[in-house]
Amino acid sequence: MADVHLPSTLSPLFPGLPRQLDVQADTVGELIDQLEREWPGLRNRLCEPGPMIRGHIHVYVNQERAKLDTPVAEQSRVDVIAAISGGAGPGHLAP
Amino acid sequence: MPRTLLLIGTRKGAFFLESNDRKTWELHGPFCEGWPVYHVIHDPTSGAVYAAAASEWHGQAVWRSADLGETWTHSSEGIAYDTEAGRKISKVSTLAISDGRLLVGVEAPGIFESRDEGQTWSLLSTLAGQPGSETWDDPSNQPPGHLGISALMFDREDADRFWAIVQGVGLFETSDYAQSWTPRNRGLRADWPREHEEVGFCVHKLVRSPVDGDRMYQQNHVGMHRSDNAGETWTEITDGLPTEFGFAAVTHPHDRDTFYVIPLDPGHGRTMPEGHAAVWRTRDAGSSWQSLDTGLPQRDAHVGVLREAMAVDSDDAPGLYFGTSTGQVFASRDEGDTWAQIADYLPSISSVEVVTIA
């Protein structure tokens, strides 16, 4: 099973969701589907309509940047990162 | 003794201020995991609190607490546009609830509804077909903060009727639960060219008297306005105010002619004029205005107050409350005559709502 590491911003949103867990999946998208089954709503926190991974969420499989269709192997390490997202966006600058 | 609860949305989560006497206050929070919270409302029917929030990382969601902040859930299931239409949602910005219908206004402009207490959502309206709506998604048309639904207000008697503000476009009314819309901007001033007669107005805030449904007030980009026919026509009432610009406004709970506003400098600063904090009140429907600043900082107070950041309770001697862009909350127990600071060092405040709990 893949060794999955989740960001510190995600676990508090879903009771019982650990920072690290083992997940059986063939792709990143499947992995997120597995998590969604146990913690409904989680997919929307990592993905946006398309579906695609949210702009400021980065997923790495064995340290390589991944997309939803990136394969995940039995011994893969999967890191989900809340990417550095500094500064105030336009919505905060105005009014 | 009834408790007074202030629901406060901030740049870094939601907070509650609680008091038994409106003199001493206890702070609770932060809630919503520090997400930017744009609007927090209370459903008087269920007792639930809802917060519209948008995380830079995890997207937008509406949070719900059924136990006044002890526990929270969140969902955005269904708050999405059809990807083939090419529209994206950047923010959930405003909430309204009536008769079990929970609405959220979003950017790009649209209104989503939930009938199951915020668990699932569906698109109710994009106000498609209104004059100029075909260009609302044009990047060159975006006002500061992007173009979206900035406010929603239900009719108190009829849940099929509500008003929506489209940022930088104007005010719209529906009386058939968003099946059709009517622009409600006649008589408003606009100091810029407009392509359509009925729209192109920058409405910042709409409020309605609790004792006279025909009496509305609005603060917009260029002036205060009053309506005596529920928004069908508007008359400007800016004369006597220090500026024509501002966001926050509330109506008196018992007097249709009394109304409060916080004028701001209209430039980039958008803070209280000359650093002198004041709330302004009219008792004659806008014919004259009075500055209320006793207890507020008289100098060096370069603070702003946003659209949803002022509230009024319905006590016999109504309490007024406002939160600032620099994290202070001020309160008055005597209809605005005197003020006291009741909180400080909060994150920048987006919204303040007051709830009286028996």
In a domain, B339, yes or no: yes
Q: What are the chain B neighbours of A80 within 8 Å (beta carbons)?
A: none
Q: Are residues B210 and B146 in the same domain?
A: no
Query: Within 10 Å of residue B327's Cβ, how many Cβ atoms?
Result: 19
Task: Identify whether the C-beta of residue B30 lies closer than 8 Å to the C-beta of residue B12.
Answer: yes
* CATH of span A2-85: 3.10.20.30
Q: Are residues B177 and B322 in the same domain?
A: no
Picking from B158, B183, B208, the residue at the C-terminal end of a domain is B183
CB contact under 8 A, A93 and B36: no
Q: Are residues B169 and B205 in the same domain?
A: no
Task: Identify whether the C-beta of residue A42 lies closer than 8 Å to the C-beta of residue A36.
Answer: yes
pLDDT at A85 over 60: no
Q: Are residues B166 and B289 in the same domain?
A: no
- The distance of A52 to chain B (nearest Cα, Å) reads 11
Q: Are residues B199 and B346 in the same domain?
A: yes
- Paired sense of beta strands B182-183 and B203-208, if any: unpaired
Largest Cα–Cα separation, chain B: 55
**What separation, in Å, do the N-terminal and C-terminal C-alpha atoms of chain B show?**
7
Q: Are residues B258 and B283 in the same domain?
A: yes
pLDDT tens-digit map of A18-42: 999 999 999 999 999 999 999 999 9
CATH number for the domain including B80?
Answer: 2.130.10.10
What total number of domains does chain B contain? 2
Please state whether B156 falls in left (phi above 0), alpha (psi between -120 and 50) or beta.
alpha
Facing B145 at nearest CB: one of A10, A85, A94: A94
ipTM: 0.88
CB contact under 8 A, B146 and A91: yes
Give the three-state DSSP class for B184: coil
Q: Are residues B197 and B346 in the same domain?
A: yes
Residue-level pLDDT at B86: 78
Pick among A45, A84, A85 to test the B interface (most B CBs inside 10 A): A45
Q: Are residues B225 and B96 in the same domain?
A: no
Return the closest-CA partner of residue A93 out of B325, B219, B139, B169: B325
Residue-level pLDDT at A89: 52
Q: Are residues B256 and B230 in the same domain?
A: yes
Q: Are residues B135 and B218 in the same domain?
A: no
Give the three-state DSSP class for B32: helix
CB contact under 8 A, B57 and A85: yes
Q: What are the chain A neighbours of B75 within 8 Å (beta carbons)?
A: 41, 44
pLDDT tens-digit map of A7-23: 999 999 999 999 999 99
CB contact under 8 A, B33 and A50: no
Per-residue pLDDT of chain B (358 residues; tens, 9 = 90+): 789 999 999 999 999 999 999 999 999 999 999 999 999 999 999 999 999 999 999 999 999 999 999 999 999 999 999 877 778 898 899 999 999 999 999 998 999 999 999 999 999 999 999 998 988 887 777 766 668 999 999 999 999 999 999 998 999 999 999 999 999 999 999 888 888 999 999 999 999 999 999 999 999 999 999 999 999 999 999 999 999 999 999 999 999 999 999 999 998 889 999 999 999 999 999 999 999 999 999 999 999 999 999 999 999 999 999 999 999 999 999 999 999 999 999 999 999 999 999 8
Q: What are the chain B neighbours of A7 within 8 Å (beta carbons)?
A: 57
Residue-level pLDDT at B134: 87
Picking from B183, B202, B226, the residue at the C-terminal end of a domain is B183
Give strand ranges (E) for B44-148. 49-55, 59-65, 73-75, 91-98, 101-107, 110-114, 122-125
Work out the percent of chain A whose per-residue pLDDT is above 90. Answer: 84
Chain B residues with a Cβ under 8 Å from any Cβ in chain A: 11, 33, 36, 55-59, 61, 74-77, 80-81, 83, 88, 90-91, 107, 143-146, 247, 270, 304, 306
CB contact under 8 A, A41 and B270: no
Give the three-state DSSP class for B339: coil
Phi, psi angle pair for A37, to nearest 5°:
-65, -35
**Calpha distance B233→B235 (Å, rounded):** 7
In a domain, B343, yes or no: yes
pTM: 0.95
Closest-approach residue (CA) in chain B for A92: B145
Q: Are residues B87 and B233 in the same domain?
A: no
**Calpha distance B258→A4 (Å, rounded):** 59
Give the three-state DSSP class for A43: helix
CB contact under 8 A, A13 and B145: no
CB contact under 8 A, A89 and B56: yes
Q: Amino acid identity of B135?
A: T
Write down the domain spans for chain A.
2-85
Phi, psi angle pair for B117, to nearest 5°:
60, 35
Q: What are the chain B neighbours of A46 within 8 Å (beta carbons)?
A: 58
Residue-level pLDDT at B147: 83
Q: Amino acid identity of B332?
A: S
Give me the domain span that covers residue B327. 193-350
Picking from B142, B162, B183, the residue at the C-terminal end of a domain is B183
Q: Are residues B209 and B166 in the same domain?
A: no
In a domain, B287, yes or no: yes
Q: Could you tell me which residues come within 8 angstroms of residue A7 by beta carbon, excluding any fewer than 6 positions away?
A: A57, A80, A81, A82, B57
Residue-level pLDDT at A93: 46
